[in-house]
């Protein structure tokens, strides 16, 4: 299944609420993989609890393969792109290894 979805690009410093928590965008980037570009978002996330305190952790969110041509950022709204999620365990593992080589301390997350 190669269903695409829209991704809204957020500028650095933006706080984003996701179903699994809130995070602050640090930067977006792309890495080449299997003749395509994979979009990732480096972000900070608060972890912990009210009774024990919180700390900040780093995460790399991988929305998926970014579209090209008609599926990429659009002139009328360059802050949105079409994304195809990374589905296979093999591809997720390879992309995780590439990203961990760049930011070793970050957890890699593939949204559902």
Segment 24-41, tens digit of pLDDT: 999 999 999 999 999 999
Q: Does some domain include residue 105?
A: yes
Q: Does some domain include residue 76?
A: yes
* pLDDT tens readout for residues 40-77: 999 999 776 667 777 788 999 999 999 754 444 444 55
* pLDDT tens readout for residues 87-105: 999 999 999 999 999 888 8
**Could you give the CA distance from residue 53 to residue 12 in angstroms, rounded to a whole number?**
25
Give the per-residue pLDDT at 77: 52
Give the per-residue pLDDT at 78: 57
**Could you give the CA distance from residue 99 to residue 17 in angstroms, rounded to a whole number?**
23
Q: Does some domain include residue 4?
A: no
User: Would the pLDDT of 21 be above 80?
Assistant: no
Give the per-residue pLDDT at 50: 67
Domain extent for 82: 13-109
Q: Does some domain include residue 79?
A: yes
8 A C-beta contact, residue 72 and residue 64: no
Q: Does some domain include residue 8?
A: no
**Could you give the CA distance from residue 65 to residue 5 in angstroms, rounded to a whole number?**
10
**Could you give the CA distance from residue 65 to residue 84 in angstroms, rounded to a whole number?**
5
Number of domains in the chain: 1
How do beta strands 107-109 and 53-66 pair?
A: parallel
Q: Does some domain include residue 7?
A: no
Q: Does some domain include residue 46?
A: yes
């Amino acid at each position: 299944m190669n269903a695409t979805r829209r991704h809204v690009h957020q500028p650095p410093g933006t706080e984003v609420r996701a179903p699994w928590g809130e995070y602050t965008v640090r930067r977006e980037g792309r890495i080449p993989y299997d003749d395509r570009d994979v979009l990732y978002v480096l972000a900070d996330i608060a972890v912990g609890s009210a009774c024990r305190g919180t700390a900040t952790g780093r995460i790399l969110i991988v929305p998926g393969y970014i579209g090209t041509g008609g599926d990429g950022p659009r002139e009328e709204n360059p802050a949105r792109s079409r994304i195809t999620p990374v589905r296979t365990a093999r591809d997720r593992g390879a992309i995780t290894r590439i990203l961990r080589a760049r930011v070793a301390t970050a957890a890699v997350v593939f949204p559902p």
